[in-house]
Structure formats: C-alpha cells, structure tokens
Amino acid sequence: MKRKDLVDLKVKEVKDLNKILGDKKAELEKVMVNIRVGKEKNLKKASHLRRDISQILTLISEKKILEKEVASP
C-alpha cells in the first residue's frame, strides 16, 4: 500500500475499514490459490496483501483506542 493510500485510510471510519479489510482478505485467498496452482506470476503479491491487512488492522485498533479515550474522561 502506498503512503497516499494509507493516509486516505486514516480518515475513514471503522466500518469502512472493516469492509476494506474483508475485501483484502478475500483477495488474499484468491491470490494464495492462484500461487498454489501456478497462475500467479507475482509471488510477492501475497506478502504485500498481508502487509496491507496488518496496516488496516492497526488503524482499526488505533481508532478503537482513541474512541475509548475520548468516551471516558
């Protein structure tokens, strides 16, 4: 994920991030199947997707922590 994309994701809400996360996980499953079958030529695509997923999960957890801090004075 490019830095510009990551900055765009920081602005989004948790529900939008969860939807994007689901899409990335589905894409990762397809890529893994294609790698095993031999159709995928870019073998690093799976590792890039895993990195994207972890970055999205980190953003979600950060937003949840911030919501807790703001909610409880």
Report domain extents, the chain: 3-65
| Per-residue tens of pLDDT for the chain, all 73 residues | 889 999 999 999 999 999 999 999 999 999 999 999 999 999 999 999 999 999 999 999 999 999 999 887 6
C-alpha 73/C-alpha 71 separation (Å) is 6
Report yes or no: 46 and 31 within 8 Å, Cβ to Cβ.
yes
Give one DSSP letter per residue of 2-70, joined into a string: -HHHHHHHHHS-HHHHHHHHHHHHHHHHHHHHHHHHT--S-TTHHHHHHHHHHHHHHHHHHHHHHHHHH
Whether the full predicted model's pTM is greater than 0.85, yes or no, is yes
